Amino acid sequence: MDLRDSPEAAAFRTEARAFLDAHAPEDAINTYRADVDEEIAVERSTAWQRTLHEHGWAAITWPEEAGGRGLGPVEQIIWNQELARAGVTQSLFMVGVEMVGPTLIVHGTPEQKEHHLEPILSGEHVWCQLLSEPGAGSDLAGLHTRAVRDGDEWVVNGQKVWSSGAHYSHYGILLARTDPEVPKHQGITCFACPMSAPGVEARPLRQMTGGAHFNEVFLTDARIPDSHRIGPVNEGWNVARTLLANERMALSGAEGAFSFDELAAAVRAHPDRVDAIVRDRVAGLYANVRTLDFLNARVITKLGRGETPTAEASIMKLKLARIVTDGATLALALLGPAGMLDENGEARRFVAWPAMHIGGGTDEVNKNIVAERVLGLPRDPA
């Protein structure tokens, strides 16, 4: 494992840092915070996406013919690190750029690529996920939303939940059951669902942070043209695997999610609340942060050698979830009663970060992946 940038990686990091120093927005907004005006957040995020597109930074790993830079995952990781250094938080275009776009590049028709890829990069279209359901979250293949063929259209009925940003999205990538008679993984089809279509209703869900970023989405006799189908009929699970692999990689880094330096500053500012137990917890957090750094370096090293990482994204996702929840708990304890003040922000993080153990694949799902691919344990029954 090499902890240093290769000459090529170092040159790319210098280029990325120079661009961000010149163009990163000073008023970057975290759209996931409860105290952020959503309309302003969407407006500023869209403007930033346009800037990235105009200067060729909107999609690091997309092929050049699709509008990207044609670079590899090593450069993507470096780009994410530099975004965090510049204080630019996760974009509301993450689903479109880092998940839907790569999926369309692999599984989409030429017409779908022509219609969707450019608007994703330019910020014209925001995408959301229409995957999880009230009874099908960890077991995504157990979904019950039905799509029935009617000529050149599909009539869709069902309910989705935990759809981030669905209420301001233009499209949702949808999984629906198209054949209930075959094993569950074999009867699913993937669609690009226009969120403005009749019969599609997004209802924001109020979270305990006070925000309403997530939604439940109801589909009632919603009609989706067959031209919006992504991949063959009943082979949507293969499309979903591509989509979810990109999601786990996008969510696996600590960049922008947790700052050990900020926690260390809180420790120094409150020496009266630091005892042997707190010191042990701080040391454990530091060890986890460094472990995540080493895992990141391991992935970069593998990719640089042309090797394919196995379960690293799942391990990193598990580690990140532990870091951010433990960090928020400790920070709140250090601040004492002051931590409950709304303007402080630590109370908000304390109630927000448990969701990291669910979003992008639950801890249990990721542990199964690690058990099967790293430890060689038997697979769960399909």
CATH code for the domain of 197: 2.40.110.10
Q: Residue 96: which of 159, 162, 169 has the closest Cα?
A: 169
- Residue 247 is a catalytic residue: yes
The angle formed by the CA atoms of residues 17, 18 and 19, to the nearest 5 degrees, is 90
What is the SS3 assignment for 228?
Answer: helix
What is the SS3 assignment for 118?
Answer: helix
Percent of the chain at pLDDT > 70 equals 89
pLDDT at position 372 over 80 = yes
Judge if 314 and 230 occupy the same domain.
no
What is the SS3 assignment for 381?
Answer: coil
The answer to whether position 1 is within a domain reads: no
Judge if 270 and 160 occupy the same domain.
no
Query: Distance between CA 58 and CA 251 in Å, rounded?
Result: 18
Q: Is the CB of residue 26 less than 8 Å from the CB of residue 88? A: no
Q: Residue 234: which of 286, 181, 192, 291 has the closest Cα?
A: 181
The answer to whether position 26 is within a domain reads: yes
CATH of the domain at 293: 1.20.140.10
pLDDT at position 214 over 60 = yes
Average pLDDT (171-200) is 96
Please tell me the total count of domains within the chain. Answer: 3
Average pLDDT (74-79) is 85
The answer to whether position 246 is within a domain reads: no
Judge if 132 and 223 occupy the same domain.
yes
Q: End of a domain among 205, 235, 265?
A: 235
The answer to whether position 107 is within a domain reads: no
Judge if 259 and 352 occupy the same domain.
yes
Judge if 231 and 256 occupy the same domain.
no
Judge if 228 and 268 occupy the same domain.
no
Q: Which residue has the higher pLDDT, 26 or 256?
A: 26
Mean residue pLDDT of the chain comes to 86
Judge if 216 and 312 occupy the same domain.
no
Judge if 213 and 312 occupy the same domain.
no
Most distant pair of Cα atoms in the chain: their distance: 72
Please enumerate in sequence order all residues whose Cβ is within 8 A of that of 61, keeping only pairs 6 or more positions apart, or say none.
68, 69, 70, 71, 72, 73, 75, 76, 102
Strand partners, 204: 215
What pLDDT, on the 0 to 100 scale, is given for residue 31? Answer: 55
What is the SS3 assignment for 218?
Answer: strand
Residue 297 pLDDT class (50, 70, 90 cuts): confident
Q: Is the CB of residue 183 less than 8 Å from the CB of residue 192? A: no
Judge if 140 and 220 occupy the same domain.
yes
Residue 294 pLDDT class (50, 70, 90 cuts): confident
Q: End of a domain among 185, 205, 235?
A: 235
Please tell me which of 26-30, 55-59, 241-245 the model is most confident about, judged by mean pLDDT.
55-59
Average pLDDT (314-326) is 87
Judge if 259 and 366 occupy the same domain.
yes
What is the SS3 assignment for 18?
Answer: helix
The answer to whether position 61 is within a domain reads: yes
Average pLDDT (314-334) is 88
Half-sphere exposure of 66 (CA within 13 A, CB side): 27
Judge if 258 and 227 occupy the same domain.
no
Q: Which two tokens stand for residue 310?
A: 């196995």
- Among 75, 247, 255, 346, the one annotated catalytic: 247
Q: Is the CB of residue 332 less than 8 Å from the CB of residue 347? A: yes
Judge if 138 and 199 occupy the same domain.
yes
The answer to whether position 167 is within a domain reads: yes
Q: Which residue has the higher pLDDT, 338 or 231?
A: 231
The answer to whether position 67 is within a domain reads: yes
Residue ranges in the chain assigned as alpha helix (H): 7-23, 38-54, 73-85, 94, 101-107, 110-122, 236-251, 260-269, 276-304, 312-335, 346-352, 363-373
pLDDT digits (tens, 9 = 90+) for 131-158: 999 987 667 888 999 999 999 999 999 9
Q: End of a domain among 235, 262, 293?
A: 235
Q: Which residues span the domain enclosing 260?
A: 252-373
What pLDDT, on the 0 to 100 scale, is given for residue 78? Answer: 87
pLDDT digits (tens, 9 = 90+) for 88-110: 876 788 899 989 999 999 999 99
Residue 304 pLDDT class (50, 70, 90 cuts): low
Residue 263 pLDDT class (50, 70, 90 cuts): confident
The answer to whether position 108 is within a domain reads: no
pLDDT at position 83 over 80 = yes
- How are beta strands 171-177 and 127-130 bridged, if at all? parallel
What pLDDT, on the 0 to 100 scale, is given for residue 317? Answer: 83
For residue 199, what is the enclosing H or E element? none
